[in-house]
């Protein structure tokens, strides 16, 4: 961390600031310039908030040299993290995974039927929401616990691990008991109490990017989970909010190489929520595989026009199967198995 001091900083103010760093076990290297004095702070500055330093009247500017995240940082953990989801490996050199299923569980037969269909198409996991974060309080809110039990039945019938979204920490036991991969949705990416709660469980977490979150904020949310003791985090890009209206969100594909460079965590792509349009899902999926994503999570419904949520961004099973076939060719071209 580099701190530039104001020209008129008093000796007393500087001394107080310096004592604060000493108490934290940090070293201060002072460079006396013609115009300004600059301090180089050496040591673990992860616990220091830049804005708290700026609150000192003697400080003109604060600049970080290293990222504020430690556990997620590739610098301190050069090898890729591979997350095991009920026997399916995600990340590193593992084959690219595909997760398919409806936005919401509608009933037991439906999720078991679609689960079997996505398995036949080549998916390795089933998705399905039982607790749904809907913009309108009048929209379908999900089947709740019944939906979680329906998902568990789909796993029993297909043998595939299941993914579902947890919205509130009071349901955590239900999820730990029944769900293989616990999803934290875009709207809860900065629900810090929820992040800490899933940091205490022994289940992998799928952390979606918040719709207006910077990459650093997103990684810091992964850091919350990891700092609470759970190292098994898979990141999921699901599009961010921009001025563009032709798509539901804007797919930020550059995050794939950025996340790979800065962190050691696996990253998967959700082209359904990123585009909001089933016609765009295939192109975005092919691009995601080419960019180095470790997996895809795609909404699939056998009757999208009758889906209880997100029908417009669901693929029919035939299209989903065709997409997987095409993605395998791209995977091969970029040296990945799928």
Whole-number Å distance between alpha carbons of 160 and 181: 11
Is residue 325 classed as helix, strand or coil in its secondary structure?
Answer: helix
N-to-C CA span, the chain: 42
Q: With contact defined as beta carbons under 8 Å apart, do 221 and 189 qualify?
A: yes
Residue 185 partner contact from Mn ion, ligand PEP, none using kind-dependent CB cut-offs of 5 to 8 Å: ligand PEP
- Residue closer to ligand PEP, measured from CB, 3 or 126: 126
Residue 238 partner contact from ligand PEP, Mn ion, none using kind-dependent CB cut-offs of 5 to 8 Å: ligand PEP
Least Å from the CB of residue 109 to Mn ion:
20
Least Å from the CB of residue 294 to ligand PEP:
17
Using CB under 5 A, pick the residue from 103, 148, 160, 267 that binds Mn ion.
Answer: 103
Percentages helix, strand, coil for the chain (3-state, rounded to 5) are 40, 20, 40
Q: With contact defined as beta carbons under 8 Å apart, do 234 and 268 qualify?
A: yes
* 248 forms part of the interface with ligand PEP (CB under 6 A): no
- Residue closer to Mn ion, measured from CB, 71 or 103: 103
Q: Closest residue to Mn ion, Cβ-based?
A: 103
Closest CA to 338 of 303, 262, 286, 302: 286
- Residue closer to ligand PEP, measured from CB, 232 or 249: 249
Least Å from the CB of residue 194 to ligand PEP:
13
* 106 forms part of the interface with Mn ion (CB under 5 A): no
- Residue closer to Mn ion, measured from CB, 119 or 132: 132
**Can you give the length of the chain in residues?**
338
Least Å from the CB of residue 8 to ligand PEP:
49
* 115 forms part of the interface with ligand PEP (CB under 6 A): no
The overall longest dimension of the chain from CA atoms, in Å, is 76
* 129 forms part of the interface with ligand PEP (CB under 6 A): yes
All residues at 6 or more sequence positions from 86 whose CB lies less than 8 Å from its CB, including other chains: 125, 155, 161, 162, 180, 181
Residue 133 partner contact from Mn ion, ligand PEP, none using kind-dependent CB cut-offs of 5 to 8 Å: ligand PEP
Whole-number Å distance between alpha carbons of 323 and 263: 28
- Residue closer to Mn ion, measured from CB, 53 or 151: 151
Whole-number Å distance between alpha carbons of 166 and 200: 14
* 103 forms part of the interface with ligand PEP (CB under 6 A): yes
* 133 forms part of the interface with ligand PEP (CB under 6 A): yes
DSSP string covering 152-179: HHHHHHH---EEEE---GGGHHHHHHH-
Residue 208 partner contact from ligand PEP, Mn ion, none using kind-dependent CB cut-offs of 5 to 8 Å: ligand PEP
- Residue closer to ligand PEP, measured from CB, 188 or 230: 188
Strand arrangement of the beta sheet that strand 27-32 belongs to: 27-32, 37-42, 2-5, 59-63
Using CB under 5 A, pick the residue from 267, 282, 310, 320 that binds Mn ion.
Answer: 310
* 185 forms part of the interface with ligand PEP (CB under 6 A): yes
Residue 262 partner contact from Mn ion, ligand PEP, none using kind-dependent CB cut-offs of 5 to 8 Å: none
Is residue 221 classed as helix, strand or coil in its secondary structure?
Answer: helix
Q: Closest residue to ligand PEP, Cβ-based?
A: 185
Whole-number Å distance between alpha carbons of 5 and 7: 6
Stretches 54-62, 80-88, 181-189, 227-235: which one binds ligand PEP (CB under 6 A)? Answer: 181-189
Packing angle, helices 108-121 and 145-158, rounded to 10:
40
- Residue closer to ligand PEP, measured from CB, 103 or 330: 103
Residues engaged in binding Mn ion (CB under 5 A): 103, 310
Residues engaged in binding ligand PEP (CB under 6 A): 103, 129, 133, 165, 185-187, 208, 238, 270, 273
């Amino acid at each position: 961390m580099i701190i530039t001091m104001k020209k008129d900083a008093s000796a007393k103010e500087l001394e107080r600031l310096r004592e604060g760093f000493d108490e934290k076990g940090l070293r201060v290297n002072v460079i006396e310039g013609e115009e300004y004095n600059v301090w180089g702070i050496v040591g673990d500055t992860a616990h220091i908030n830049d804005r708290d330093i700026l609150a000192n009247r003697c400080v003109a500017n604060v600049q970080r040299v290293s990222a504020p995240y430690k556990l997620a940082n590739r610098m301190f953990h050069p090898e890729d993290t591979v997350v095991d989801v009920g026997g399916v490996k995600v990340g590193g050199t593992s084959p690219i995974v595909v997760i398919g299923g409806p936005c919401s569980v509608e009933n037991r037969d439906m999720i078991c039927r679609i689960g079997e269909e996505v398995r036949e198409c080549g998916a390795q996991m089933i998705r399905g929401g039982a607790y749904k974060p809907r913009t309108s309080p009048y929209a379908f809110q999900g089947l709740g616990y019944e939906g979680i039990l329906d998902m568990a039945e789909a796993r029993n019938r297909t043998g595939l691990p299941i993914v579902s979204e947890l919205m509130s920490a009071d349901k955590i036991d239900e999820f730990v008991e029944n769900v293989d991969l616990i999803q934290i949705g875009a709207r809860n990416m900065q629900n810090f109490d929820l992040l800490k709660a899933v940091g205490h469980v022994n289940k992998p977490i799928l952390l979606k990017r918040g719709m207006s979150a910077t990459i650093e904020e997103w990684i810091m949310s992964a850091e919350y989970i990891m700092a609470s003791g759970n190292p098994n985090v898979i990141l999921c890009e699901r599009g961010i909010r921009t001025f563009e209206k032709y798509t539901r969100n804007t797919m930020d594909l550059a995050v794939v190489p950025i996340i790979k460079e800065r962190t050691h965590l696996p990253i998967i792509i959700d082209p359904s929520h990123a585009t909001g349009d089933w016609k765009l899902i295939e192109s975005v999926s092919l691009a995601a595989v080419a960019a180095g994503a470790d997996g895809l999570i795609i909404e699939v419904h056998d009757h999208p026009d009758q889906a209880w949520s997100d029908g417009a961004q669901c693929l029919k099973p035939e299209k989903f199967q065709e997409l997987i076939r095409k993605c395998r060719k791209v995977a091969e071209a970029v040296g990945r198995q799928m």
